[in-house]
Amino acid sequence: MNKEFSVVGKPVIREDGLDKVTGRAKFADDYKFPGMLHAVMLRISSAHAKINSIDFSAIENDESLVSIITADDVPGTKKVGMIKNDQPIFCNEKVVTPGDVLAMIVGESEAKLHELVKKIKVDFTPLPLLTDPKKSLETDAVLIHPVEGSNLIIHHPLRKGNVEKGFAESEFVLEQTYSTQLIEHSYLEPEAVVAIPLETSLGVKVIGSIQNPFTTRRFVSEVLNFPLSKVRIQQAHLGGSFGGKDDIMCILSARAAVAAMKINRPVKIRYTREESILESYKRHPYVLNYKVGYNKSGKIQAMKIDILADGGAYASMSPFVTWRTVVQATGPYEIENVHTDVRAVYTNNPYTGAMRGFGSPQPIFAQESLMDEIAVQLNMTPDEIRKVNGYKSGSITATGQKLQNHEVNLLTVLETAEEDTGFRKKWLENKKDKSQLIEYDFSSPIINESQFISPDSLIKKGIGLAVSFRGCSLGAEGTDAASAYISIQNDGSVYLDCGLAENGQGLRTTYSIIAAEVFGISTDQIIYLELDTGTTPDSGPTVASRATLMGGGAVKATAEILRKRLEELIRSEWNLKSDDEIVFQNNQVLITNHQSPITFKDICKLAYQRGISLATIGWYKSPSVGWDEHVGQGDAYFTYVYGCQVAEVRVNIATGEIYVDKVTAVHDAGKVINMLGALGQVYGGVTQGAGYGIFEEVTTDKGFIRELNFDQYTIPTSKDIGEINPIFVEGKDIYGPWGAKSLGEPTLELTAAAISNAVYNAVGKRFFKLPMNLEEVLLSKKLRPEDLKRGSK
């Protein structure tokens, strides 16, 4: 009985969809408790200062104040961090970036607290500012964290072959510098969390807009000096995260928990958009230097890469973000000689950490721009140069890893995209030999008669592509395992839970599909339980596009344990021969050459009567990977995915506007589990990637952010992106549930690079600095207002 999939790969509506569109779903700020208090943060207007003293006397006796919480109230660790403990819960000694919080005041009325907080007097001494990461490692640079001894957060070297020899043997050598900008996650729901003191022996419970409950639990337990089991984290519905509700939510949860335990009442912290943008971490700006040696045939001989990432005020996830960069920095090209250095440094800028993409969008912009530039120089088309160098089965990566055990579909996704869009023909038709943009001389702001653009040449069309490979899950970053819990009831309905937290991407639906497929039942038979660290097993964080692969693997393994128990029961109950097949399908169980089907419900009832346990926890553990950090060599990830995006644009050469008319996104994510979820990932990822390419930038002035709300921080709207055409190439893999791998981040990482290449095709001019906003396109530079005032000028 060869069985087709019954739910896997079909479009399934998310289990929380109805509750979300009708407003019934409860988000963190919807939780209210009797006696609940609010907390408001104290900050100062400085990016780098030594705190001499804080004078609370003006508010101490105010009746709206219940308590003041400072570093002195923190019973456990006073400094926390994802990797390095360099971030104070409350900054009582110094501030190193404007988002820093010195103390917190607690009371019943948030409005009153906002008035009171202004009356607190802080005496501080400004320290020298360091906002240019290029100066962070200079010998006379001020140290952001003197105890660290240096402003270097991390250095990842990678050495393969001999680049000098490679350059010497190359017919051409090209060197370019690229830069990418600081950007904000822009989750719709700003941070919110409430901490509730439990009965004495039980500790504290935290409910919040939390990306990773288990990481949050670690922070809270360290800060309170509680065992892990006395901290329970419950995840509320999450209004977006994109990697952005990790450390910040851990820290806010810890602050709320400290206050709740001190006062013995529930305490809520919720941020306005301005506070959210001010304090939360962002995506790293990179400066990327690439030197590449190649031959007339297009074959790349050597690549030397030097990358500097601005980690901002705290280390956060910088070591891991930049590690992915060092692994993937060459792009999916087989190159014999590679020499890469990636460094992250401290500055007084807003700190940077995890964001969807996680160290890949930056090098992809650089490396894919570079590939196109080489193609143009050698009179090749963009697809040709990539075919010469691109990974094939058995290729060796820059880290010395042989690509095997999965279909290396780089060229398949490239060819699929090319055919679907008619890429080559369009690219050749649009190709420009010189820049179509007008060079204005700003010393005479009135333009010459000859510079006026005739209406029929105002709009230029272009097409561009970008490809990538991406390591799935955590790789050599750390332990990689996940677990799930399933309990089948005696009427055949099923409880399901997994230690990986829903981040709004729909993983609960994906997991329900996987369990439903294994049991041959419909997804509406499955109730997904709330994630609570008190009852759900730890599965590491929802990051690195690992949820379907790892959590999905765990759900499948768990469901299979229980199905096996049911199969054994059936075999003994009906005395089956060993080659009799049992199929779970359509809420029924079918047995070859045997009586009429039995319902799933009846089998479960029987199991219950026979005293067979139908509840269990199952695991999925990744195969081992390896890494030598001195030379950057090893099997970095156990499997990879491949993607190619083609952007079709029009550029208005009078205004510098880029209209993204169509993006064709071809991804090998392995087996697609929920078609609707997969499409959603592509639509969202492409749109976010386009925002990175042409709109978004958090700019700072002496460390202070100019764009504190969405009136100034422009993310794309549905009107800004034209058609998005997702195509899935389902490559086979031995890992993951039925070979399902990663899609979330691949969809985002390519778009900016594809758009940049399309813009080059349209106007004959290459851009090296993201975002390609109006000024960048027209003037090849960014213009900044002189002050932090809001409004249009």
Partner 1 sequence: MISSLEILIPKNLNEALSLLVERKNNCRIIAGGTDVVPGLQQGSNRFANSELLIDINRIPEIKSITQTREKISIGGAETFSDMLQNQIVKEELPLLWKACSTIGSVQIRNRATIAGNFVNNAPCADTVPALLVYNATIEVESLSSKKEISIGEFLTGPYKTKLNKDEIVTRINIPIPSKEFRGDFYKLGRRRAVAISRITLAVLTKTQNHMIDEIRIASGAVTPIGIRFSDLEKLAKGKYADDKFLKLLSQKLGEQILNVTGLRWSSEYKLPVVQQMFYQLLKEIEHG
- Binding residues for partner 1, rule: CB under 8 A, are 110-111, 114, 272, 438, 440, 442, 445-447, 449, 451-455, 458, 654-657, 695, 711, 714, 716-720, 773-775, 778-779, 783-786, 790-793
Residue closer to partner 1 (CB basis): 378 or 459: 459
> Which is closer to partner 1, CB of 62 or CB of 775?
775
Task: Give the integer Cα–Cα distance in Å for 674 and 666.
Answer: 17
Q: For residues 451 and 592, which CB has a smaller minimum distance to partner 1 in the complex?
A: 451
Token pair recorded at residue 200: 């004495």
CB of 40 to partner 1, least distance (A): 9
Please give the Cα distance from 623 to 637 (Å, whole number): 9
Q: Which is nearer to partner 1, 199 or 441 (CB)?
A: 441
Q: Shortest approach of partner 1 to residue 726 CB, angstroms? A: 22
CA 312, CA 725: separation in Å to the nearest integer?
A: 37
DSSP assignment, residue 476? G
The least distance separating partner 1 from the CB of residue 63, rounded to whole angstroms, comes to: 17
For 214, the token pair is 């288990």
Peptide bond into 771 cis (omega under 30): yes
What is the residue whose two structure tokens read 């309170």?
224
Size of the chain, expressed as the number of residues it contains: 793
Report DSSP letters for 649-680, one per residue.
Answer: EEEETTT--EEEEEEEEEEE-BS-S-HHHHHH
Question: Could you tell me the smallest distance in angstroms from the CB atom of residue 773 to partner 1?
Answer: 7
> CA-CA distances (angstroms) from residue 421 to 115, 675, 724, 759, 761?
58, 22, 12, 16, 15
Minimum CB distance to partner 1, residue 140 (Å): 31
Q: Which two tokens stand for residue 492?
A: 């055949």
Helix (H/G/I), strand (E/B), else coil: 122: strand
Q: Identify which of 744, 674, 667 has the alpha carbon closest to the alpha carbon of residue 242.
A: 744
In whole angstroms, give the CA distance from residue 597 to residue 570: 12
* CA distances to 174, 474, 741 from 622, in Å: 39, 9, 12
For partner 1, the closer CB: 504 or 656: 656
Q: Cα separation of 129 and 140, whole Å?
A: 12
Nearer to partner 1, 444 or 595 (CB): 444
Residue 14, amino acid: R
Q: What's the CA gap between 734 and 404, in Å, rounded?
A: 10
At 461, phi and psi to the nearest 5?
-100, 145
List of residues 6+ apart from 168 with CB closer than 8 A: none
Q: Of the two residues 609 and 718, which places its CB atom closer to partner 1 in the complex? A: 718
Closest contact distance (angstroms) between CB of 501 and partner 1 is 30
Cβ 282 to partner 1, closest distance in Å?
Answer: 19
The strand ranges marked E within 244-350 are: 267-270, 286-294, 300-312, 337-346
> Are residues 672 and 728 in contact, defined by beta-carbon separation less than 8 angstroms?
yes
Report H helices in 667-745: 675-690
In angstroms, give the least distance from the CB of 716 to partner 1: 6
Decide whether 61 or 718 has the Cβ nearer to partner 1.
718
In the bound complex, what is the minimum distance in angstroms from residue 671's beta carbon to partner 1? 36
CB of 68 to partner 1, least distance (A): 19
**CB nearer to partner 1: pick between 442 and 624:** 442
CB of 453 to partner 1, least distance (A): 6
Residue entry with tokens 């196109």: 372
Helix (H, G, I), strand (E, B) or coil at 284: coil
The CA distance from 619 to 557, in Å, is 7
User: How many C-alpha atoms does 123 have within 13 Å on its Cβ side?
Assistant: 5
Tokens of 28: 């963190």
CB of 771 to partner 1, least distance (A): 10
Residue number, 310 or 707, with CB nearest to partner 1: 707
Nearer to partner 1, 179 or 712 (CB): 712
At CA 538, angle to CA 537 and CA 543, rounded to 5? Answer: 135
CB of 446 to partner 1, least distance (A): 5
In this complex, which beta carbon is closest to partner 1, that of residue 67 or of residue 714? Answer: 714
In angstroms, what is the minimal distance from the CB of 122 to partner 1?
Answer: 20
**Cβ proximity to partner 1, 202 vs 458, nearer residue:** 458
Please, which residue, 114 or 165, has the CB nearer to partner 1?
114
Q: Residue 243 CB: number of other CB atoms within 10 A? A: 26
Q: How far apart are CA 626 and CA 471, in angstroms?
A: 13
Smaller CB separation from partner 1, 630 or 793: 793
Q: Which two tokens stand for residue 713?
A: 């921080």
What is the smallest separation between the CB atom of 665 and partner 1, expressed in angstroms? 21
Spatial separation of the C-alpha atoms in residues 529 and 466, rounded to whole Å: 40
